[in-house]
């Protein structure tokens, strides 16, 4: 397996058009088989979620894909692979992510974070055996997770409407646009041949999903409407990350997409005879 600075090398054979077509057809079949979501009559009235009717349909698709494919694979991975090995795999991918963290910290004019990110990468790549062990954390250098959606927010770009992306889950227009430079800032993107790239990508996906297996049960128990619960939690979390944890203004502008209304307290768990809510993606 080799890594190149781009896709233009003679050794790189781009995937043929049949691959994307197959994936598109598969997505259409899965989406059609997913059924329809229950959409409340006031859907779309929330200014931060004008596309709620469509978002709920995509949420149901993601939820069913997660239940049918992602969760079983992740549970099998967690059952078969010993925890020390899973920890090593997760740490290696997190170490690769330090490259994107460094780039975004630099673009956000946070030199302290950028130095920490670079130091973490160097220490963990050497003393940590390519990141298998988080040696940098042991010496007090905490991971500073960043992405281009946060960088755009730090630059003052509003989040835009809330959207749910197939397979990827909760997002906003700004964060969705940020996925593009995030892709090119990811060293895994430049791995070839393609079979090695797909192997790494799928391994990272399964490993990350296995780390959040308990989240599904948490959402099941916390909310009667998991879609709204996840939406409000996501928007508040992103706003907190952009402001570095600072509280929002006392009177945010009503038309500011970055100032969503506070999430309603989670309702009490319904009685045993009530219908349970599906897990978040």
Q: For 2, phi and psi rounded to 5 degrees?
A: -125, 160
Task: Sort 74 into a burial class: Cβ within 10 Å, 0-12 / 13-18 / 19+.
Answer: buried
C-beta of residue 102 within 8 angstroms of C-beta of residue 121: yes
Tokens found for residue 124: 């963990």
CA distance 30 to 143: 36
Q: For 192, phi and psi rounded to 5 degrees?
A: -145, 160
Q: Model's pTM, two decimal places?
A: 0.76
Does an H or E element contain 192, and which? strand 191-192
CA distance 77 to 74: 5
Domain ranges of the chain: 47-242
Does an H or E element contain 171, and which? strand 169-172
pLDDT in tens, the chain (281 residues): 544 444 344 343 344 444 444 554 555 555 555 556 778 878 888 999 999 999 999 999 999 999 999 999 999 999 999 999 999 999 999 999 999 999 999 999 999 999 999 999 999 999 999 999 999 999 999 999 999 999 999 999 999 999 999 999 999 999 999 999 999 999 999 999 999 999 999 999 999 999 998 877 777 676 688 999 999 999 999 999 998 877 655 444 433 445 444 444 333 333 333 333 333 43
Of 177, 154, 161, the C-alpha closest to 231 is 161
Do strands 2-3 and 191-192 pair parallel, antiparallel, or not at all (unpaired)?
antiparallel
Q: What is the dihedral of CA 12, 14, 16, 19, to 10 degrees?
A: 110
């Amino acid at each position: 397996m080799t890594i190149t600075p781009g896709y233009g090398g003679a050794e790189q054979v781009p995937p043929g058009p049949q691959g994307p077509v197959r994936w598109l057809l598969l997505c259409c079949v899965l989406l059609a088989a997913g059924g329809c979501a229950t959409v409340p009559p006031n859907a779309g009235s929330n200014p931060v979620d004008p596309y709620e009717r469509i978002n709920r349909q995509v949420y149901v698709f993601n939820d069913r894909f997660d239940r049918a494919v992602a969760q079983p694979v992740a549970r099998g991975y967690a059952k078969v692979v010993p925890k020390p090995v899973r920890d090593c795999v997760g740490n290696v991918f997190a170490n690769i992510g330090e490259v994107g963290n460094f780039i975004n910290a630099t673009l956000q004019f946070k030199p302290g974070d950028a130095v920490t990110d670079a130091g973490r990468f160097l220490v963990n790549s050497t003393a940590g055996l390519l990141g298998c062990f988080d040696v940098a954390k042991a010496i007090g250098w905490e991971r500073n997770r960043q992405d281009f959606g946060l960088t755009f927010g730090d630059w003052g770009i509003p989040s835009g409407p809330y959207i749910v992306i197939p397979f990827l889950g909760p997002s906003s227009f700004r964060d969705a646009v940020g996925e593009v430079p995030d892709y090119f800032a990811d060293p895994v993107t430049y791995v070839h041949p393609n079979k090695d790239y797909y192997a790494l990508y799928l391994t990272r996906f399964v490993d990350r999903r296995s780390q959040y297996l308990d989240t599904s049960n948490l959402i099941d128990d916390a909310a009667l409407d998991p879609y709204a619960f996840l939406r409000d939690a996501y928007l508040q979390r992103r706003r907190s990350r952009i402001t570095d944890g600072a509280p929002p203004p006392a009177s945010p502008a009503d038309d500011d997409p970055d100032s969503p209304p506070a999430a309603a307290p989670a309702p009490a768990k319904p009685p045993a005879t009530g219908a349970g809510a599906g897990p978040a993606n």
